[in-house]
Amino acid sequence: MKGTFRSFDNFNYRIWAAGSLISNVGTWMQRTAQDWLVLTQLTGGSATAVGIVMSLQFGPQLLLLPLTGYVADHFNRRKVLFATQTAMGVLALGLGILTLAGHVQLWHVYVFAFLLGSVSAFDAPARQTFVSDLVGESDLANAVALNSTSFNAARMVGPAIAGLLIASTGTGWVFLINAVSYIAVLCSLAMLRLDHLQLKDRARHAQGGLLAGFRYVWSRPDLKAMLLMLFLLGTFGLNFAIFISTMAVSVFHAGAGEYGILTSAMAIGSVAGALLAANRAQPHIYRIVAAAAVFGLGCGVAAMMPTYGLFAAVLVVIGISAQIFTTSTNSVVQLSTEPGMRGRVMAILLGILLGATPLGAPFVGWVADRFGPRWALAVAAASGIAAAIVGLCYLRNSRQAEASIRN
């Protein structure tokens, strides 16, 4: 497994990964507490309200797309991350104080979700492409996969801790703990060895804005296929906050602790999927297609599970497939994109991955409210199968084009 963790030989990456892990635990704690607050305290179990929160939190990824990729390509990413991480910590602090004071209302959560989403829209492409500043091109795919491992290891721990804290102290303290966790990533940014950063890959004089990024993607059939697949899963499939919370509350009648365990069960699969991706030197679109198909089948099986334990077990499989799909897509897109376009292309990718949620989350939430959570999972299953079909069509056309060239 030495090759799996080879990026940790880099001092800057080790420091960054340590700070990110602590902050990621806090982030997952807040996400769990926020969904639980909306679902059980501020509404009568409304999945639609949870979907609206997700829309407001991820919608700015699309609204601010013309700016976020430009910032990631043209500004010092380390300084951008200092600003965004500080702002997100302040927002977590504000929501925590409001909740502990007993004054929080649903519209407050909506406002904080939108503000957090606006800051995250600038943070995400800078954070994703910052990895190329920390390690060389040869280790980029490995570092991306290890980032996903850290994020999902935190996802495995954070919700479980949040569930225990919610049951014992309430949601407000969870938000405050998340605010404190941002100190870790700020310290890691301050401790980096600046002379060891791989700034040769930076697009210091990149020309053109977002339209140049779209033109670049449009000229690449492989990128178009992968981003369309990502759109299908991001819109209708990756709405885990809705699926897990509504299945826990409406179908299995579980409490906060059991809800946190379900989220952690999926995270176990996500960590395994990220480690599998990290162990491969160069990802390929074949793996992305296979992961989409397994995701679709897994969601279909999960929709039919009769008991809490069986549902949790299938979530592990869904977590593996979803993580291999997203991590491999991230790596293939970054590695196949020119360094001067990387920030803008990644902004488009993240805009699709996170920004597609506002399009799908309210619909999936409505399906869960109107027909039941199992039918919402059926929608996710259909999205995975559709994405796999898109990938297979691209591979078929690609082989046909290669055959015609040879002939």
* Per-residue pLDDT tens digits for 320-350: 999 889 888 888 888 788 877 777 788 788 7
Which of the listed ranges 31-35, 70-74, 111-115, 272-276 does the model predict with the highest average pLDDT?
A: 111-115
pLDDT of 365 reads: 86
Domains along the chain with CATH numbers: 2-198+205-406 (1.20.1250.20)
Which of the listed ranges 33-37, 127-131, 313-317 does the model predict with the highest average pLDDT?
A: 313-317
pLDDT of 106 reads: 93
* H helix or E strand, kind and range, residue 186: helix 172-191
pLDDT of 205 reads: 47
Q: How confident is the model at residue 40 (pLDDT cuts 50, 70, 90)?
A: confident
Q: Average the pLDDT over each of 77-81, 225-229, 248-252, 263-267 and give the range with the smallest value.
A: 263-267
Q: How confident is the model at residue 144 (pLDDT cuts 50, 70, 90)?
A: confident
Percent of the chain topping pLDDT 90:
36
Phi and psi for 306 in degrees, rounded to 5?
-85, -20
Residue 399 burial by CB count (10 A; 0-12/13-18/19+): exposed, middle or buried?
exposed
Q: What is the average pLDDT value for the chain, to the nearest integer?
A: 85
Which of the listed ranges 28-42, 186-200, 231-245, 370-384 does the model predict with the highest average pLDDT?
A: 370-384
Q: Is the pLDDT of residue 32 over 60?
A: yes
The mean per-residue pLDDT over the stretch 227-252 comes to 88
The mean per-residue pLDDT over the stretch 260-279 comes to 80
Residue keyed to tokens 């996170």: 354
Residue keyed to tokens 């990387």: 342
Angle of helix 11-36 versus helix 256-278 axis, rounded to 10: 150
Q: What is the rounded CA–CA span in Å between residue 134 and residue 8?
A: 11
Handedness of CA 62, 259, 94, 182 (dihedral sign): negative
Q: Is the pLDDT of residue 204 over 50?
A: no
pLDDT of 227 reads: 93
Do residues 299 and 380 make contact, with C-beta atoms less than 8 angstroms apart?
A: yes
pLDDT of 190 reads: 94
- Helix, strand counts (H, E) of the chain: 17, 0
Q: Is the pLDDT of residue 111 over 50?
A: yes
The mean per-residue pLDDT over the stretch 191-216 comes to 70
Residue 108 burial by CB count (10 A; 0-12/13-18/19+): exposed, middle or buried?
middle
The mean per-residue pLDDT over the stretch 114-127 comes to 90
The mean per-residue pLDDT over the stretch 106-129 comes to 90
Structure tokens at 332: 């293939």
Q: Is the pLDDT of residue 104 over 50?
A: yes
Better pLDDT: 199 or 174 = 174
Q: What is the rounded CA–CA span in Å between residue 68 and residue 341?
A: 13
